[in-house]
Amino acid sequence: MTTQSLLVLSIGFLAQAFFSARMLVQWILSERARQVLSPSLFWIFSVAGAYLLCIYGWMRDDFSIILGQFISYYIYLWNLKEKGIWRRLYAVLRAVLLLTPVVAVLWVVTHNETFIDDLFRNENIPLWLICFGSAGQILFTLRFVYQLFYSRHKGQSVLPTGFWVISMAGSLLIVSYGIIRTDIVLILGQAGGLIAYARNLWIGTHPKPSSRS
């Protein structure tokens, strides 16, 4: 394994470590409360994981990974704002988090031929597989679009039951994509999450019984 390959894998595994940590924290706190919670750490780890996984996808020339992170990234930031965390971050860090996707898009616009060649004319990833992987990432990411509208309706950051249903469906597609691509980062990252999604779905549909007086 080359030094570059090792670096790419390290970034991917670090990103998945943040995603796994967010689910572990959310799962433990929800088990204790016997209801589905939306803890602040969930969103902090989400931002860190998305930032790194987007870099991983770029280094792997994998459009579906990049697309998935771009869709959900600003939703993570919105939840940080709702949790009151965003304003407590250093101004420089806020600027970096806000502008990184913008800079990436500007680079794509000014280097569109290189971008298309690397991501859509890649011999290692046929077009049908790009479409399949992108469909899984879009479905998986739609859970956060759903979460955003649901939370805005409720006036607070929450993780509703539908979020976990979409999570399970999208995760199964991404695991299948990871198997086809022999991408161990995607396989391990998504397979472990399925357990947490199923458990949150159970907790969400079996609310904590009210205490007797």
Which token pair is 1? 């394994």
User: How does pLDDT run across 48-58, given as a tens digit for each residue?
Assistant: 999 999 999 88
pLDDT band at 213 (very low <50, low <70, confident <90, very high): very low
Alpha carbons 40 and 84: distance in angstroms, whole number: 9
Q: In 10 A of CB 51, how many CB atoms? A: 19
Residue 147 has pLDDT above 90, yes or no: yes
Please answer whether residues 80 and 43 qualify as being in contact, where contact means their C-beta atoms are separated by less than 8 angstroms. Answer: yes
Q: 58-108, pLDDT tens digit by residue?
A: 888 888 888 888 888 999 999 999 999 999 999 999 999 999 988 988 887
